[in-house]
Chains A and B, each alone.
Chain A
Amino acid sequence: MGGFLIRRAGAALVVLVLASMLVFLGVRAIPGDPAIALGAESRDPALLAQIRHKYMLDRPLPVQYAHWIWLALHGDLGVDQRELSVAHTIVSRLPITLELAFLSMLFATLVGIPAGVIAAVRRGKPSDHTATTVALVGLSVPHFWLGLLAIIWFAVDLHWLPSGGYVGWAHPLDNLKHMLMPALVLSAGFSAVLMRQMRSSMLTSLGADYVRTARAKGLTEWRVVGHHALRNSLITVTTVMGLQLGALISGAVVTETVFQIAGFGRLTIEAVNQRDYTLIQGVVLVAATGYVVANLLVDVVYSLLNPRIRIS
C-alpha cells in the first residue's frame, strides 16, 4: 500500500505543479499589460511601477513563477482590487462552501446508495424501473433550474424556507434552514450518479462467483447481499466519488449563485465579473489544489478499504 500511495502522491504533486504553471501562464496570457490587469486597470504610472516591482514583471517568467509560488506556499496570494488580502477572502468564504458540499454529499449518500442497492436487488421489477427513471431524470435536470423551481415553490409560494442568503453557525437552526434547499438541490445530480454507479456495481457483485459461493453456504439473502455484495460494491463506488467531487465544486458555484450564498463558489464568479485577476488567480489555484488533494484523499481511503491494495 505504501508504494501505491507514494506513487499517487508523487503524481498528484506533479499535477499540482503543472496546474499552477497553467494558472500562472493563464493570467499572463491576458492580452494587454499584465501590470494593468493585476493593478485593476488603473493607469496611474506610479501604481503600475509599484505593481511591476512587486510581481517582478521585469524579471524572466520562471523567476516570476517561482516568486509567486513561494509567496503562495506562505499563504500570500496577493491583494485584490479592493486592497483586501485574497487569501483572507478565500479563507473566510471557503467554510461556507465546504458546509454546502458536505451536506450535499451526506444527502446524496443517504439517498443514492440505498436506492442503488434496492434497484439492483429488485432488478427488472417496478421499483427498479422507477428508481432508474428517477435517477435518469435527476441526472438530466440541471440543478440550477431545480434550484429556481425550489425557490418558486418553497420560498415564494409556500414561504416555508428562505429564498437565499446565508446565516452563520451562531444560529444553527437558521443556518440549516438556509442550507437545506441549496444542499438538497446540489445533491440531486450527485445522488443520481451514485445510485446508478451503486446499482451497476451491485449487479456486478451479485453476479460474481463469490456470491454463488455465499449462497451455496446456505447464508440468508440478507447476508449475501448486505455483507458480501455490498462490501465489494461500496469499495468500487469510492473511486467514483473522486470524479464527482469536481462536479460538486462546479455545482456549488452555480448553487451559490442561485441562492445568493456568499461562499467560495460565488467568489469565483464575482472575480470574473470584476475582472479582478489577482483574485481569479488565487481562486483558481485554490480550487485546483483542493480538488487534487481531495482526490488524493479518496485514493487513500480506497487503498485502505481494498485489501488487494492494502496488502500487496
Chain B
Amino acid sequence: MAEPLLQVTDLSVRFDTDDGPVHAVDKMSFSLAPGEVLGIVGESGCGKSVTCMSLTRLLPETATVTGTAVFDGRDLLTLQPRRLRRVRGREISYVFQEPMTSLNPVFTVGHQIDEVLKRHLELSRREARARALELLRLVRIPAPERRLDEYPHQLSGGMRQRVMIAIALACDPKVLIADEPTTALDVTIQAGILDLMRDIRERLGTAIVLITHNLGVVADVADRVVVMYAGRKAEEAPVEELFAHPQHPYTIGLLGAIPRPYEGEDTRRRLQEIPGRVPSLRELPHACAFADRCPRADELTRSQIPQLHEVRPQHWVACFHPGS
C-alpha cells in the first residue's frame, strides 16, 4: 500500500463527566490512503464521531485524548495549536451531521465561505467571490449568485449540507471527514449527497472518511470499511469483502438487520435484531465488549479482550470466534 495519508494508532478518548469518567474510544487504530473512501460504521454511541473529532482536537475540554494521529509526518494530537489551526479547514476539513445548526444563522452563506478562503488562501475580493461561486457550482447548488447573499434559514436542508460541503472543500483539502452527512436529511436527498461525495473523490482526489450507522450508505460509496463497537474496532475490510464474508458476529448482525423489501413472497423474512444493549462506557471491561449479546460467547470471550488479527487477506477482525 502507498504511504498512508493519515495513520491513527492506539487512539483513546476519555470524558470526565459529573458522574464519573466515560471511555468513549479504546485504542482505535486505522489508516487512510490518499484518495481513498473509508467508511466507519457502528451504532449511535460507539465512538465513531468522537474518534474523528479528536483528530484535529475538536472535542470539548472534558475530553482526554491519548495515542497518535500522524498526518503528513506530524502528530496532530501534539501539534502546536497555531500549526493545528492551519491544518484545520486547509488540509483536513469536516462536514457535520446537522446542517441547520452547523451553519451560523446570523451570517450569509457567502460570508461563511469567504471566511475560510480568507483565512487560508491569499485571494483578492474578486478571486474569492469567483471561487465561492465555483464551489457552489461544484456542489450543484442552483442559482449560486443568489445563494451567496442568503442566510442559512432560507435554504433547504439538502442545500445547507451542500453549502457545508462547499465550505469544507474550499481550500482543496487532502482529507474530508463527513460525520453522518446524510442522517438528518430525507432519503431522497441522501442519494444526491452521496452522489456528490463520489463525484468529489473522482474529480478532486480527496480522501474521505465517511461516518455512518447506515450500512447501505457505506456499500454505495466506500472503498474500505471499519466497524466499531463500544469504542473499539471490531472489524476492518475492503467493502465487497466485508459484505460478502462478514466475520464478526456484530457485523453479521448488522447486515442481517438491513431491511430488504422485495417483491414476492419467498423473500419475506423477519428483520433480525441484535438482542440486548450497548454496554455502558464507564468501565473498560476486560472482556469482549460484545460478549453479552453474542451468540458465540463463551468463557474466553468473557475474560479476555480479543485482539485484531487478519483472518482473510486484507480482512482484520477482533473476535475469538470469527467466521461467516
Contacts and interface: CB of A to CB of B under 8 A. Distances in A.
A and B touch in the complex (CB under 8 A): yes
Interface of A: 208-210, 212-220, 228, 231-232, 235, 306-308, 311
A209 B93 contact: no
Nearest to A234: B106
Nearest to B91: A218
Given A212-B58, A311-B151, A217 B105 contact: no
Given A307-B151, A308-B153, A311-B151, A219 B115 contact: yes
A307 B115 CA distance: 19
Given A209-B102, A311-B151, 11 more contacts: A212-B58, A213-B102, A213-B103, A216-B89, A216-B93, A216-B96, A217-B93, A218-B89, A220-B85, A307-B151, A308-B151
A232 B164 CA distance: 19
A213 B167 CA distance: 10
A220 B89 CA distance: 12
Contacts of B101: 208-210
A311 B109 CA distance: 14
A227 to B, nearest CB: 9
Contacts of A210: 101-105
A210 B99 CA distance: 9
Nearest to A215: B58
Chain B interface residue bracket vs A = 20 to 34
Interface string B85-102: 111111001101010011
- Nearest 10 A/B pairs, CB to CB: A218-B89, A218-B88, A217-B89, A209-B101, A210-B104, A216-B94, A217-B116, A209-B102, A307-B151, A218-B85
B173 to A, nearest CB: 10
A212 B85 contact: no
A212 B87 CA distance: 15
14 contacts: A212-B96, A212-B102, A213-B164, A214-B104, A216-B58, A216-B94, A216-B96, A218-B87, A218-B119, A219-B89, A219-B115, A231-B107, A232-B106, A308-B105
B139 to A, nearest CB: 16
B302 interface: no
B174 to A, nearest CB: 14
Interface of B: 56, 58, 85-90, 93-94, 96, 98, 101-107, 115-116, 119-120, 151, 153-154, 164, 167
B96 A209 contact: yes
B153 A307 contact: yes
Contact of B116 (A212, A218, A231, A232): A218
B206 to A, nearest CB: 15
Contact of A311 (B89, B102, B116, B154): B154
A119 to B, nearest CB: 16
A169 B135 CA distance: 59
Contacts of B88: 215-218
A229 to B, nearest CB: 9
A220 to B, nearest CB: 7
Contacts of A214: 104
Contacts of A235: 106
A311 B154 CA distance: 8
Contacts of B151: 307-308, 311
Contact of A213 (B90, B96, B119, B154): B96
A272 B104 CA distance: 51
Contacts of A232: 104-106
A16 to B, nearest CB: 32
B98 A209 contact: yes
A216 B153 contact: no
A218 B58 contact: no
Nearest to B150: A311
Nearest to A305: B106
Contacts of A228: 104, 107
Nearest to B170: A217
Residue from B94, B103, B105, B151 having most chain A Cβ neighbours under 10 A: B105
Contacts of B116: 217-219
Residue from B101, B104, B164 having most chain A Cβ neighbours under 10 A: B104
A308 B58 CA distance: 28
A8 to B, nearest CB: 20
A213 B153 contact: no
A218 B117 CA distance: 11
A216 B119 contact: no
A217 B89 CA distance: 4
A219 B98 contact: no
A294 B224 CA distance: 62
Nearest to B151: A307
Contacts of B86: 218
Contacts of B93: 216-217
B272 to A, nearest CB: 35
Nearest to A123: B61
A119 B119 CA distance: 27
